[in-house]
Structure 1
Amino acid sequence: MIKHYKPSGRYSVATIHNGVAYLCGHYASDLSKDIKGQTEEALDSIDKSLLEIGTDKSKMLSVMIHLKTMDDYAEMNSVYDNWVAKLPPARTCVVGEMFSNDCLIEVTVTAVV
C-alpha cells in the first residue's frame, strides 16, 4: 500500500511504501538568506516532515542535495555536518538549475518509517 502525506497539486510532501518514506525536495522559505541560512531552513523543514510521518533523521537512508553552485559546497557542508548523525546516510550532491534564481539549495531525503 502506498500512502501520500500532504498531497497537493503536483506532489506530496512524502510518499510512503513498504516502510520507506520518500520526501519531496525541501528548501528555505526565506530565499533572501545566504547558503548557510537556506541550508539550516531546508534541514529544519526535513526534520519537521520526518517527525510528522513518524520517523527522524537517524533513520535516513539517503540524502540528495541540489546546489545552485558548487561554490557553496563548503559552507553547505559546515551546516550539514553539524546536522547529520554520526552514522551519515548515503549522500549525493549535484549542481542544478533551481526553480528560482534566489534558491541556493534543495534537499531530498529517503528514510525508514
Structure 2
Amino acid sequence: MQTIERVPSGHAGRSRSCAYADIVYTVATSADTSLDIVGQTHQALATLSASLEGLGSHTSRMLSAQVLLADMADKPEVDEIWAKWIGDNPQHWPQRACYGVDLGGRLLIEIIVTAARGATDDA
C-alpha cells in the first residue's frame, strides 16, 4: 500500500502539502501579509517552488493551478509575475484558473497546485 506523505502547515487541521504515489498537492500563501500584491505573489511562488521540490517535484511538473485573489483588479499584475516565474516553455505551463474570493485578513493571494513528481521537465 502507498504511503501518503504530509507536510505540516503550522496551522491546526491542515497540511501545506501532501503527496500520494506520483502526485503532489500543495498550497502557498505569503507569510508576510503586510506586503502588497507584488510582494505577496513573489513570496507565495517561492513557497510553492520549495514545497514542490521538497516532495520531489518541480514547477515544470505542475498539472493544475488555482490562483485565489482577494481583488480581481490585481490579476494583470499577478499574471505578469506568474508568466515570468513559469517561463517561456509552453510544455511547462499547467492548466490555470483564477478566482476572486474573500481570503480574510490582509491575505491577498493563495495558490493551489497539483503536480507530478519527478525532476525538471526539459522538453
State the TM-score, normalized to the length of structure 1: 0.91
CA RMSD of aligned residues (A): 1.3
Say if 2:56 is the partner of 1:54: yes
* 2:23 is the counterpart of 1:20: yes
The separation in 1 between residues aligned to 2:76 and 2:61, in whole angstroms, is 25
What secondary structure sits across from 2:28 in the alignment? coil
- Note the alpha carbon deviations across 1:65-106, whole angstroms, 9 max, x for none: 000011100111111110113221000100111132x11100
Q: Work out which of the residue numbers 15, 31, 34 in structure 2 matches 1:32.
A: 34
In structure 2, the gaps of 5 or more residues are 118-123
Letter of the 2:97 partner, please give it.
T
Q: Kindly state the Cα deviation for residue 2 of structure 1 after the two structures are TM-superposed.
A: 4.2
What percentage of aligned pairs have identical amino acids? Answer: 30
SS at 1:38's partner residue?
helix
Moved over 3 A (4+): none
- The one-letter code of the counterpart of 1:95 is G
Over residues 31-77 of structure 1, what are the superposed CA-to-partner deviations in whole Å (9 max), with x where a residue is unaligned? 11111111000000000011111111010001110000111001111
Structure 1 segments unaligned to the other structure (5+ residues): none
TM-score normalised over the length of structure 2: 0.84
Matches of 1:14 and 1:64, distance apart in 2: 15
